[in-house]
Amino acid sequence: MAVTAWRITFYMAMAALCSLLPSLAAASVLTGIEVQPAKKGGTHLDLRFTGGVPELRSYRLDSPPRVMLDLAATQSGLADRRINVNRNGIEQITSLEGNGRTRLVVNLSESQAFTSRVMDNRLRITFASGVSRSPSPSPSIASAGLETDEGPQVENIDFRRGAGGAGRLIVTFDREGVEANVREDGPDQVMVDLRDVAIPDSLNQVYDVTDFATPITRITPRTSHDATQLAIATQGAYAMISTQNGCTLTVEVQPASQKAQPSQTTGERFTGERLSLNFQDIEVRSVLAKLAEFTGLNLVASDSVSGRVTLNLNDVPWDQALELILQSKRLSSREQGNVIVVAPASELADLERQELEARNQRETLSPLVTEFIEIKYARAKDLAQLLRGGDGDGDGFGLLTERGRVSIDNRTNTLLVQDTADQVRDIARTIDRLDVAVRQVQIEARIVIARDTASRELGVNWGMSSTRGFQEGEDGTFSRRNINPGGINRAQGGLAVDLGAATGPGTGFSFGYLSGDILLDLELRALESEGKSQTISQPRIITANQRTAKISQGEERAFQSVDGNDNPDTEFKEAELSLEVTPQITPDNRIIMDLVIKNDSFRESAFGGEPPIDTNQIETQVLVDNGQTVVLGGILTTEELRQIAKTPLLGDIPLLGRLFRYTEESNEKVELLVFITPRLLDDGLTVR
């Protein structure tokens, strides 16, 4: 147990020591950066350190213009991670720290050459102002390399990100005729062997290109006494192709997978049979011949196809391999049946132009033929307009040639077409595709108007009458009259009770007291009523796809009016129930409908004038499944009314005031709902 505890303690101590190694290795600290102009033009970038000047490794890019400065075993002591310069061609400096090193990314407004030298405790980077990047190195870099008299050497190393995430390494030599051998060295590495080629010290450094997000992560030069190697570290599945033109070697590594990959340039999907190609400095025509032999297609290469190419493709579709080869040599292809024609893009364009001119000439010289085409379902007038092009205003395109004509026989719904034989056949095929039966839709709407009313009345009526009165004579004078000549109830007291007349509502009763000629009446009214009604309108219509249909029913009234010249005029107003719909059937048998639904009615005027019109309308667009019922909308109207009639002062007396008050309460609710149900009809089906 003691030995085990000692081992655990030892391992923990070693782990802690390993975690401290990066910080211990970083003996230098970057304390400051100064930017100042140079005396002979350009810009000085002074890097100040404590603990000594570290080893510098650098490389540069053209797109975007940028310089990477890697400081080995260095910590960053800068206060700001980003320094904005914006002068002398330097825009921004960004510092990154990790794995015991510091990287400075210098963003430039344009590509510039640069040199470096150590001055005491600082490192000076000098940028040449106004010097664009070129294949030839700057004088400072050339002086550090080998002399060209001793043999070929690497002049420049550039890395770029291509389309679709491809990594592209471009190596430039100082002369032509350099022998380059590109091969795969394991699953995660590609080797570039340069025999009898030297590399300058300024370019002999490790290029970390992980930030470009390509299959290439690192480029490491390796030198010997008679050769140079470029070790390209990769990650993931990839497809590699290399080309060499003159003094430039290009190695492109594209991401790939076991499945067919989309094209990096056109977005097309490669579906050809997979193959592997490994050729060193082979003629392009020979590679094309191998592809034709593998695919079984007939391949014709133009005399302009030339050059040599180095291939290392592993398990890629043959059409993708062909595309890569054509791109490397700026070639193009055209497939005709089982024949592939390969030629420069400009040559193929000229060939297509010549073929088009020849076809136009054939159409001009071809004889005209006449064809009668019977139209079954569509209107011949509409199809004739389509053949002529657009709606007659020059919009759209027609199917007739310049010499073609079309005529219509409305009686038989037949087209008379005159054009070249080929064009007449194309027109006949087009009409067969368009002249088909259109699907039909039945649209049923249900408009529901529900009314709910309730009212209450409660009150007392007082009255008094006498047996004596006045009567109007023939001469217009009034004379006293006894309305109770028989003396009935005269000078007698008693009660009179009325339980309501037969014609009355039967909700009130009255009683009175008779005394002499005076009759005192009291009537008690109490009424409570409820009413419910429902009105349903159900218009239904059948129409074809994308055809507007309308059905309506209503009333029209005439009204007299006077115009500006005081002449009588008659005006007609309509109140109708209508359904207007334009359906569109989707490919999944759903229906899109543009709907306009109206439900109007006349309402009698209270003052004997023109009657107002109660309108209800819905205009909308909906998407409904076949046979599904949906609620388009609804309107709810509520009216509450309460009226009180009373005798002043007496009606306000508590409890007793109820004998001198009349109360009326009412509540009315009106609700409008609109339902819609579409149904697709089979061919020949009718609805009854």
pLDDT tier at 683, thresholds 50, 70, 90: low
- Per-residue pLDDT of 448-495, as tens digits, reads 888 888 888 777 777 666 655 556 667 767 666 655 555 544 444 455
pLDDT at 33 over 80: yes
Amino acid at 626: N
Structure tokens at 548: 């507007």
DSSP string of 212-269, one letter each residue: G-SSEEEEEEEE-SSEEEEEEEE-SSEEEEEEEETTEEEEEEEE--SSPPBPTTT-PB
With beta carbons less than 8 A apart as the criterion, state whether 514 and 496 touch.
yes
CA separation for the pair 28, 452 (Å, rounded): 92
Q: Residue-wise over 110-148: b if at least 16 C-beta within 10 A, else e?
A: ebbbbbeeeeeebbbbbbbbebebeeebbeebbeebbee
pTM score of the predicted model: 0.41
In terms of average pLDDT, the best of 133-142, 190-199, 518-527 is 190-199
Name the phi and psi angles at 445, rounded to 5.
Answer: -110, 145
With beta carbons less than 8 A apart as the criterion, state whether 126 and 171 touch.
no
CA separation for the pair 135, 111 (Å, rounded): 12
**Mean pLDDT, rounded, for 350-356:** 84
Q: Which residue has the tokens 């190393």?
A: 157
**Mean pLDDT, rounded, for 349-354:** 84
Q: Which long-range contacts (CB under 8 A, 24 or more apart) does 31-37 make?
A: 31/77, 31/78, 32/78, 33/78, 33/83, 33/93, 33/104, 35/85, 35/87, 35/88, 35/90, 37/88
Amino acid at 422: D
pLDDT tier at 52, thresholds 50, 70, 90: confident
Amino acid at 221: P
With beta carbons less than 8 A apart as the criterion, state whether 418 and 388 touch.
no
| pLDDT (0 to 100) of residue 515 | 58
Indicate the SS3 state at residue 370: strand
Q: Which residue has the tokens 């005439």?
A: 558
Indicate the SS3 state at residue 20: helix
Structure tokens at 416: 């008379």
For the chain, what is the radius of gyration of the CA atoms? 50
| pLDDT (0 to 100) of residue 599 | 81
With beta carbons less than 8 A apart as the criterion, state whether 237 and 228 touch.
no
| CA max distance for the chain | 161
- Per-residue pLDDT of 190-203, as tens digits, reads 888 888 888 888 88
Q: How many CB atoms lie within 10 A of CB 182?
A: 26
pLDDT at 12 over 80: no
| pLDDT (0 to 100) of residue 24 | 43
| pLDDT (0 to 100) of residue 605 | 67
Distance linking the first and last C-alpha atoms of the chain: 97
With beta carbons less than 8 A apart as the criterion, state whether 207 and 162 touch.
no
- Per-residue pLDDT of 568-625, as tens digits, reads 777 777 888 888 899 999 988 899 999 988 888 877 766 656 677 878 788 889 999 9
pLDDT at 3 over 80: no
CA separation for the pair 186, 233 (Å, rounded): 10
Higher pLDDT, 101 or 585: 585
| pLDDT (0 to 100) of residue 495 | 53
Q: How many CB atoms lie within 10 A of CB 405?
A: 14
pLDDT at 5 over 50: no
Strand partners, 95: 104
Structure tokens at 561: 């009016």
Strand partners, 33: 47
Identify the sign of the CA torsion 483, 486, 492, 493: negative
pLDDT at 99 over 80: no
Q: How many CB atoms lie within 10 A of CB 288?
A: 21
Q: Which residue has the tokens 């529901």?
A: 448
pLDDT at 30 over 70: yes
| pLDDT (0 to 100) of residue 372 | 92
Q: Residue-wise over 616-653: b if at least 16 C-beta within 10 A, else e?
A: bebeeeeebeeeeeeebeeeeeeeeeeeeeeeeeebee
Higher pLDDT, 331 or 488: 331
Lowest mean pLDDT among 33-37, 414-418, 461-465: 461-465
CA separation for the pair 332, 325 (Å, rounded): 10
pLDDT tier at 9, thresholds 50, 70, 90: very low
Helices (H), 452-516: none
Name the phi and psi angles at 589, rounded to 5.
Answer: 60, 40
pLDDT at 234 over 70: yes
Strand partners, 646: 661
Structure tokens at 401: 């040639």
